Every structure is written in structure tokens, then in C-alpha cells.
Amino acid sequence: MSDNTFTYVKIPVNSEEPIEELSASKSGGLEKDALVKNAKAYFQQQSNSDQPSCEIMALSIPLPGNQYRAVSLYSSDLPGASTKENERATKLVTACGHSLPKAICGDVFIGRAYDNEEFEWERVDFRASDASPTAAWCRVARQKGGGGGQGGSASSLNSLVQQQMNVSGGPPHVVAPQTQALYGMDGAPAVVEDWGSWTQSADEVEAKLSIPSGTKSKDCKISFKRNQLSVAVHGETKISGILFSAIVPDDCTFTMEDAKDGTRDLCITLTKANEGSTWSFLTETA
């Protein structure tokens, strides 16, 4: 890849289609950014609209904690745009610590930029591997000062607003993500995993595992750490990994309940350290 080009990605709404890496020239800078131009042209063609337009969502704003790397998502705001949820994009948004007023719909583009006021604004690479909810930059984003939902600020969207105005000449459509019942949140369907399922509320996450009847507390070994959870039953590891977000270990508990099918349920309650955050997964491999 040339020093004069950058990589960004397209995440198709059809989850069976691969995430596509695209490249464009850096020469336009902030005022004539190629990613915004290309995204608007793509959405205009999709919607047969007379005007090019797109909505910009700040996933991570530039802060010292993320080395001034901003990540933004570009979706269609035109009439006739797809109303089908882009599940991969929605998961990525919540993985940055944001909650959502609505699901992300249709095809989307995601790009990254270096945005430090002491230096010139510049596009930097965002690759397909970065479009995973378990990517390192997502973990940074959802921490305090990391630029995502735990460290974001509406005032830090100035560069995006200016970018939108310069490229389109029209009013900006820049949004910061905000809440919806997703990922087992507040009555939404439980998230099903290989080991069981989990749900969440604003301040807690509850994981439920089916265990053999007759299982006692002494048969369960559960370790609560601020950023990790491990669960073993009868010596077999069921869950072991890094949590989506920090918990308060001393407030976490587990109980066992008899299930209707004759087995038992191991119910684990995790207290969120960041109350109000929406988790998009429970653990990733440690």
C-alpha cells in the first residue's frame, strides 16, 4: 500500500458476504476526504437519490488514550435506504462502549484517521481484522479516556462536522450513538452461547449454564476478577476469558436453581463497573 493511500472497509448488511477492504487516496485531506466522497456516491446510487449524502457516526473520538486515532462509521441516511439490520456493524458499535437508539441498517463503511490538532489531519488504515468486536482498539475505546462510549464527548465531533460540511456543502448528519434493547438488554432475547446464555440490565449481567442434577456448590469453581471470568463445573472449564467490560468482583454472586427438565441451572450475576453500558459479548479468549 502506497504512503499516499489508505485502507478502509465496507461491511455488507448480508453477514454471509465478507468484509471488503478498499483503498483511496489521502490527497484530499479533511476537506475533500475520499472515504466520505465514495460513501456518499455509493449510497446515492443505491437509493437513486438526486443528492449525495451519508450519516457519520463517531465510534471512537481522537484522544491521547487512543493515540489520537478516530474511527467513524458511514451509513445511508437517504430515503429508500435498507432497513435490514447490519448485525456486524451493530455489534462493533456496542463493542466500543456505545448504546444505540436503533440498530445499524444497510451496508456501512468504516475508516480511521489521525486527528491531533498539533499535526495535520490524516487518514490511516482500518483493515478487515479491525472490524471485529474483540479487536484491541474496541477494548481501548470502551475504557475511560479511550474515546468510545466511556470516554466520548459531543464537543469532540467538530472535525467530523467540518468534514461533512466541506464535502457535501449541506447540513451535517453527525451522530453519537445512544439505547435500545440489544444483546439481552432489558427484556431482549437472551444471547445464546455454546455453554448457555446471558442477559443484561443497566447494572448487571446474568449468565445461565445448564449443569447436571445433583451438582453442589463445591462442584463449581468460579473466579471473579475485574476484567476476567472463569467458570468450571466438576473440573470442566465452561467459561474462561476476558470480559467485555470491567465488573465489581465483590458484588458478583452465583446461585443454583432446579430446571424443568430435571437438570440444574447455574446462575452467575456480574455487577457492571460501568453502569449503563451495553455489552455486545460476555468474554473473549484470555
Model pLDDT for residues 257-282, shown as the tens digit of each residue: 887 777 889 999 999 998 877 787 89
- Best CA proximity match to 97, nearest among 282, 285, 276, 286: 276
Reply yes or no on whether the pLDDT at 153 is more than 90: no
Model pLDDT for residues 41-63, shown as the tens digit of each residue: 999 988 888 888 888 999 999 98
Q: Residues 215, 165: one domain?
A: no
C-alpha cell at 51: 443528492
The residue among 79 and 102 whose pLDDT is bigger is 79
Q: Residues 170, 198: one domain?
A: no
Per 3-state DSSP, the chain is made up of helix, strand and coil in percentages (nearest 5) of 20, 35, 45
Question: According to the model, what pLDDT value does residue 101 have?
Answer: 62
Q: Which of 9-13, 73-77, 170-174, 201-205 is predicted least confidently?
A: 170-174
Q: Residues 71, 195: one domain?
A: no
Q: Residues 143, 9: one domain?
A: yes
Q: Is residue 206 part of a domain?
A: yes
Identify the H or E element spanning 25. strand 20-25
Q: Residues 93, 171: one domain?
A: yes
Q: Residues 153, 271: one domain?
A: no
C-alpha cell at 209: 449454564
Question: According to the model, what pLDDT value does residue 75 have?
Answer: 93
Query: What are the backbone dihedrals phi and psi of residue 155, each rounded to the nearest 5 degrees, phi first?
Result: -70, -20
Q: Residues 77, 202: one domain?
A: no
- Best CA proximity match to 81, nearest among 60, 100, 101, 53: 53
Reply yes or no on whether the pLDDT at 3 is more than 50: yes
- State the CATH number of the domain containing residue 203: 2.60.40.790
Model pLDDT for residues 168-215, shown as the tens digit of each residue: 444 444 444 443 446 777 677 788 888 999 999 989 999 999 998 889
Q: Residues 41, 149: one domain?
A: yes
In the chain, how many domains are there? 2
Three-state SS for 155?
A: helix
Percent of the chain with pLDDT over 70: 85
Q: Is residue 32 part of a domain?
A: yes
When the pLDDT of each residue in the chain is averaged and rounded to a whole number, the result is 84
Three-state SS for 243?
A: strand
Helix, strand counts (H, E) of the chain:
4, 16
Q: Which amino acid is at 269?
A: T
Question: According to the model, what pLDDT value does residue 259 have?
Answer: 79
Residues 2/136, Cβ–Cβ less than 8 Å: no
pTM exceeds 0.95, yes or no: no
Identify the domain containing residue 211 by its residue range: 191-285
Q: Is residue 186 part of a domain?
A: no
- Best CA proximity match to 113, nearest among 125, 101, 99, 104: 125
Q: Residues 134, 237: one domain?
A: no
Question: According to the model, what pLDDT value does residue 141 have?
Answer: 87
CA–CA gap between residue 185 and residue 190 (Å, rounded):
8
CA–CA gap between residue 202 and residue 182 (Å, rounded):
12
Q: Which amino acid is at 220?
A: C
Q: Residues 136, 220: one domain?
A: no
Which residue, of 175, 201, 232, is where some domain finishes? 175
